[in-house]
Amino acid sequence: MFVESCEIKTAEKEVFEQIIDLGRKFHSKLSGLKPEAVVLRIADIPTRASRAAGPRHRLMIEGALAYVCNEQKVQNVALCTGREVGIELGMSKADAQACGERLDAKHPEAASAGIVALPSES
């Protein structure tokens, strides 16, 4: 078993087009990997409410990526915030991210989330 983290980018300007483009790219990535498990590192819960468009757009994108996992028939899919990753690993969010950084300095949040999907030794 291996853990792979990735960053998917889009140059699209409109939110709808971003969602479609990122979904297609993620679909292609999963098709090539045929993963046993996928962990999507989702946004942390904000400490205060905001009317900013960015968080709403991210939620839509996260939902689209989860849908792609379902369409690809990935059996083990988890959506975790940074705090939840830390809890799953029995450490703080910062310590979990430090573990991820040792695995993949370019994508520490994704790498630490990926550890969650690894089988436990118990």
Please, how many CA atoms are within 13 Å of residue 109, restricted to the half-sphere of its CB?
A: 12
HSE, side-chain direction, 13 A CA sphere, residue 40: 22
Task: Compute the residue count for the chain.
Answer: 122
pLDDT in 10s for each residue of the chain, 122 residues: 566 778 899 999 999 999 999 999 999 999 999 998 999 999 888 788 778 888 889 999 999 999 999 999 999 999 999 999 999 999 999 999 999 999 889 989 988 988 888 877 75
Quote the pTM value. Answer: 0.83
pLDDT in tens, 24-46: 999 999 999 999 899 999 988 87
DSSP per residue over the chain, as a string? Answer: -------------SHHHHHHHHHHHHHHHHHHH--SEEEEEPPPPPSS----HHHHHHHHHHHHHHHHHHHTT-SEEEEE-HHHHHHHHTS-HHHHHHHHHHH-TTSHHHHHHHHTTSPP--
| Residue 120: predicted pLDDT | 74
**Per-residue pLDDT, 26:** 97
